Amino acid sequence: MSFERLKLFTILLPAVVIGGFELIRHEFLLHYLSMEVGNVYIIILTLLLSYWFSTWMFRKIQAMNETIAAERSRRAVYEERERLARELHDNIAQMLFFLNVQLKQGKTAEARSVVAEIDHHLRQAIFNLRSLPEDGVSFPDRVGRWLREWSAISGVEAERQGEWVDGLFTSNEEVQLFAIVQEAFTNIRKHSEADRATLEFAYDGETGRWTLAVRDNGNGM
């Protein structure tokens, strides 16, 4: 049912049912029902109608909200795929150009390093595409799998600490949060020269505040 029809139905139903009952009572039932009894009946009818209508309406609203939430989740997954595609294209294009320069100059050691970097980006891109939210994997499991993969590729020991709270974020927010974690650990691998990194999540139920911290034992700024 469209929004306009739902609006029209909401306006007309109470008026038609209650008004119709009053019209029938005064035209045909006045000799059988006293005013007092008729008033009791109209109160009961109004209560039953209100209960049925409000129950139906809230179920309709809940179904619409669930549909909107599912659409937002699909949109978040689509946007994440687009971001990964752009990121992969830009990084690989830059590294291939740099690799070509190194090979022309005969710098084989630097070229091997670039090839290793390309391999790393491709592995991460494949893993990211396989572990998007639509796979039904919970966010902590997804992050844990990614950290294990990242640790195996980078050689940096990674650890996840803290208890995750389910339902704290929407699918779209989890996508953005996951991208932040990826970027932080990518910077650790590229710049910190660390051999150990930690991802810590903390949530304060009293204040509703949450904290995400990424730490490493590298060189720092």
pLDDT given at position 134:
54
Tokens of 151: 């640790």
Segment 29-33 long-range contacts (CB within 8 Å, at least 24 positions apart): none
Asked whether the predicted pLDDT for residue 175 surpasses 80, the reply is: no
> What is the pTM assigned to this prediction?
0.52
What pLDDT shows up at residue 49?
Answer: 77
What pLDDT is attached to residue 2?
A: 65
Within 10 Å of residue 92's Cβ, how many Cβ atoms?
A: 15
Q: Could you tell me the pLDDT band of residue 137, with boundaries at 50, 70 and 90? A: low
Predicted confidence at residue 173, as pLDDT, reads: 81
Query: Stretch 53-71: mean pLDDT, rounded?
Result: 81
- Please state, for a pLDDT cut of 90, what percent of the chain lies above it: 6
Is the model's pLDDT at 132 over the cut of 60? no
- Give pLDDT, residue 157: 92
The residue that leads in pLDDT, 118 or 188, is 188
Residue 200 clears pLDDT 90, i.e. is over it? yes
In the prediction, which pLDDT does 214 show? 92
For the ranges 38-42, 61-65, 215-219, which has the lowest average pLDDT?
A: 38-42
Does pLDDT of 199 surpass 90?
A: yes
pLDDT-derived band at 55 (thresholds 50, 70, 90) equals confident
> pLDDT tens digit string along 72-110?
777 776 777 777 777 777 777 887 888 888 888 888 888
**What is the per-residue pLDDT across 148-166, written as a single tens digit (0 to 9) for each?**
888 887 888 999 988 888 7
Please identify which residue in the block is written with the tokens 């989740």: 73
Per-residue pLDDT at 213:
92
Buried b (16+ CB within 10 A) or exposed e, 95-131: beebbeebeeeeeeeebeebeebbebbeebbebbeeb
What is the average pLDDT score of the chain? 79
